[in-house]
Structure 1
Amino acid sequence: RLAAPKEFLKMAGIHVTGNFHESPECVVSLTRNGETASFAAVPYLNEGDILSHVSLEGEVERHQRYREAVKKIYRECMSAMPDEGIRILMGHFFIQGIEGSGSERIITVGDTQPIRTGDLPEGADYIALGHLHRPQQIKGNGCQIVYPGSPIPINFKEAEYEKNVFMIDTDGTGTCSVDAIPVPVFRELVRVEGTLDEVLTAASFGNWKDKYVEVRVRLEKPEVGTGDRIRHAFDSRGGRVLVVESVLSGREDGESISASDIKSRSPAEMFKDFYNKKYGDTPGDELDELLKTFNELIELSNGQESEP
């Protein structure tokens, strides 16, 4: 997707590396006021793009080959840069020892951290990495390694820490200062948790103007209209509820349904059993109404499958 408008963007001075082909293609050198800065704009390195297939290869061996391939790519990028000037490496991967925010997609190889700080070449003035949403800095081989993080929260898990952009000051001699500049918060993300009464009380007495809210409400049993009541309570105080998650107190996940159950029991029977395990005893008329709706959906689905 990023590579499609690559040539068009280049006319505006925007350089994009969407896919990896050859290491030198990732290197971009810019000269301003007599100073040259070279960037190794290496995109996410998919295992299938940089490793050949080896039959019956174990995860440890494949992981080691991946690390060696990454080291080779960055060495080639460094070799393709001018001898003079600032050298900045960029990448999209996890480094061992970093901390995620819980909202990133997992891109590790073999369930291990794919890259170590020692895998990155010496001689760079600054290393900027992507994928992690939580800002953090790591000690590298003589230079700063920084995950600047996402400039805005991607979800409510990221509302608990400050977002930054980083200003880098380096002269290409190995000296590099990194200053974090906080990103202004224009819409605060807030998480609220409690019983229904506690949540409604918080909504009634809090200042929710121009805030986005995620609510986790604890219930003794399912209650129709809970989400609407919560949204209305916060709306009346200027807030906007984006997520309502209901959690039933004291309920554990039921056992998995076996293959024999699927063959011997009807969908309605499994639905009823699942519902009772998850939500406990439900008045007969309520469950009957749910089963009626469930059966109508099953019939509708079967009818659509039988259509040519």
Structure 2
Amino acid sequence: MIFMHMADLHIGKRVNEFNMLEDQRYILKQALSIAQNNKVDVMLLAGDIYDKSLPPGEAVALLDEFLTDIVHNGMKAVVVSGNHDSPERLAFGRKLMQSEGVYVSGVFNGEMNILSLRDDFGLVNIYMLPFIKPLHVKKYFPKNEIDSYTQAVKTVIDNAKVEDKMRNVLIAHQFVVSSGVEPMRSDSENISVGGLDHVEASAFDIFDYVALGHLHHPQSIGRDAVRYAGSPLKYSFSEAGAKKEKSVTIIEMKDKKNIKISKIPLTPLRDMVEIKGPLKDLLDPENHKHQGLDNYIHATLTDNEEIIDAISKIRSVYPNVMKIDFENSRTKTVEADSVAKDVTEKTSFQLFEEFYKINNNEEMEDKQKELVRGLLENMGVVI
């Protein structure tokens, strides 16, 4: 049986007020093409399908389009809700969809939904675990000690009585770590401060493959078969750069313990790129002729002089500038050891000189000094 593992679609997301729907439609069609070329049997979608619990209509329409394309191409889809999803809304029509090969986890009721599929090697059991918190689980197991996310997940798995001689796949949406080691993260994720939501990877030892969602960087946790697919698109500039490549995960499962896992890269409609330098250099055709001008841009300008309407100037070349920052002598941190020392012994001009240096990280020019002296003299201030 061949699976494709995806997660964290965040359909309907806006990044720096840019609507990502066109990019999401493009990347989902690309993923579908990869699935067709690899003869995928089952698509595993591990949570955060939508970006908001109340998704906009256009986001719902895109998910409908994607799931319909999956089914029309002879595949099944298994979907769990993530922390961004409303499990009730995501599961609307789930019983009707099952007849077409789309299996959506319902609202958590103390048990995992199980889908059993057969191939040449026998049955494969797919367990569906939506995003859960200890409070959700304690409701159904009041006598159990459930003070952590790991205990909550282990309680649900132990109660499922998974048969270890069978081939078992889990699809889940949690923050999983191995021996306390922090996995790779990005700024676009919503993780609890202090690691309170950690789940130890050892909780999943009984499963042959664990399809995780929640973290946006593709990576394995603890062992190769406990894996985050990562988001199909970059959703923050912390992921900018060629090394932060997005992908889908293909899992070819034969008999027990015979699994091949591979990554296939995704190419976005627009990448996230960071550029830096003086405005003149950034706008020079010689410097950007080999760059994708339609990419989403974070520009850092290093000009010392003030630039009026800088973002409009940048957008004349890079229409999809999302963010603009300044890094120059005025924005750098300066030492102010002598600023408050001996104030009463300094002239007004000396104090102004120090004030100017703190705010601009540079000395005043001679013409500026003459101007300030003239202003102070006209005001009758002793300089």
Q: Scaled by the length of structure 1, what TM-score is found?
A: 0.66
Unpaired stretches in structure 1, ≥5 consecutive residues: 53-61, 235-239, 254-275, 281-308
Against the structure 1 CA distance between its residues 9 and 159, is the aligned structure 2 distance closer, same or farther, given a 3 Å change threshold? Answer: farther
State the match for 1:267 in structure 2.
none
Against the structure 1 CA distance between its residues 211 and 191, is the aligned structure 2 distance closer, same or farther, given a 3 Å change threshold? Answer: same
Flag the structure with higher helix content: 1
Against the structure 1 CA distance between its residues 156 and 174, is the aligned structure 2 distance closer, same or farther, given a 3 Å change threshold? Answer: same
Unpaired stretches in structure 2, ≥5 consecutive residues: 1-88, 140-144, 334-355, 361-383
What secondary structure, in the 3-state scheme, does the structure 1 residue paired with 2:277 have?
strand
Residue by residue, what CA displacement relative to the aligned partner does 1:42-90 show, whole Å, maximum 9, x if unpaired? 11113432246xxxxxxxxx9844321211112223x2x5676420012
Cα RMSD for the two superposed structures: 3.4
The answer to whether the 8 A contact 2:251-2:262 is kept is yes
Provide the C-alpha distance between the structure 2 equivalents of 1:219 and 1:51, rounded to a whole number of angstroms. Answer: 57
Aligned: 1:102 with 2:187: yes
For 2:131, give the aligned amino acid: Y
The answer to whether the 8 A contact 1:86-1:171 is kept is no
Superposed counterparts of 1:162-241, under 5 Å: 162-201=245-284, 205-209=288-292, 211-214=294-297, 215-220=299-304, 222-234=306-318, 240-241=319-320
Superposed counterparts of 1:28-43, under 5 Å: 28-32=115-119, 35-43=122-130
State the match for 1:262 in structure 2.
none
Residue by residue, what CA displacement relative to the aligned partner does 1:105-155 show, whole Å, maximum 9, x if unpaired? 1146x54451112222x3311111111111111334xx7111111122223
What secondary structure, in the 3-state scheme, does the structure 1 residue paired with 2:102 have?
coil
State the match for 2:103 in structure 1.
15
Residue by residue, what CA displacement relative to the aligned partner does 1:183-225 show, whole Å, maximum 9, x if unpaired? 2344333221223233223686423446313122235465331
What secondary structure, in the 3-state scheme, does the structure 1 residue paired with 2:207 have?
coil
Aligned: 1:66 with 2:146: no
The answer to whether the 8 A contact 2:210-2:226 is kept is yes
Against the structure 1 CA distance between its residues 195 and 30, is the aligned structure 2 distance closer, same or farther, given a 3 Å change threshold? Answer: same
Provide the C-alpha distance between the structure 2 equivalents of 1:130 and 1:148, rounded to a whole number of angstroms. Answer: 7
State the match for 2:325 in structure 1.
246
Against the structure 1 CA distance between its residues 163 and 18, is the aligned structure 2 distance closer, same or farther, given a 3 Å change threshold? Answer: farther
The answer to whether the 8 A contact 1:151-1:164 is kept is yes
Residue by residue, what CA displacement relative to the aligned partner does 1:241-274 show, whole Å, maximum 9, x if unpaired? 2313132534379xxxxxxxxxxxxxxxxxxxxx
Provide the C-alpha distance between the structure 2 equivalents of 1:113 and 1:129, rounded to a whole number of angstroms. Answer: 15
What secondary structure, in the 3-state scheme, does the structure 2 residue paired with 1:48 have?
helix
Match of 2:114 among 19, 23, 27: 27
Provide the C-alpha distance between the structure 2 equivalents of 1:72 and 1:212, rounded to a whole number of angstroms. Answer: 46
Q: Scaled by the length of structure 2, what TM-score is found?
A: 0.54
State the match for 1:146 in structure 2.
227
For 2:320, give the aligned amino acid: V
The answer to whether the 8 A contact 2:273-2:295 is kept is yes
Provide the C-alpha distance between the structure 2 equivalents of 1:209 and 1:68, rounded to a whole number of angstroms. Answer: 48
Against the structure 1 CA distance between its residues 47 and 172, is the aligned structure 2 distance closer, same or farther, given a 3 Å change threshold? Answer: same
Against the structure 1 CA distance between its residues 63 and 74, is the aligned structure 2 distance closer, same or farther, given a 3 Å change threshold? Answer: closer
Identity %: 23
Aligned pair count reads 240
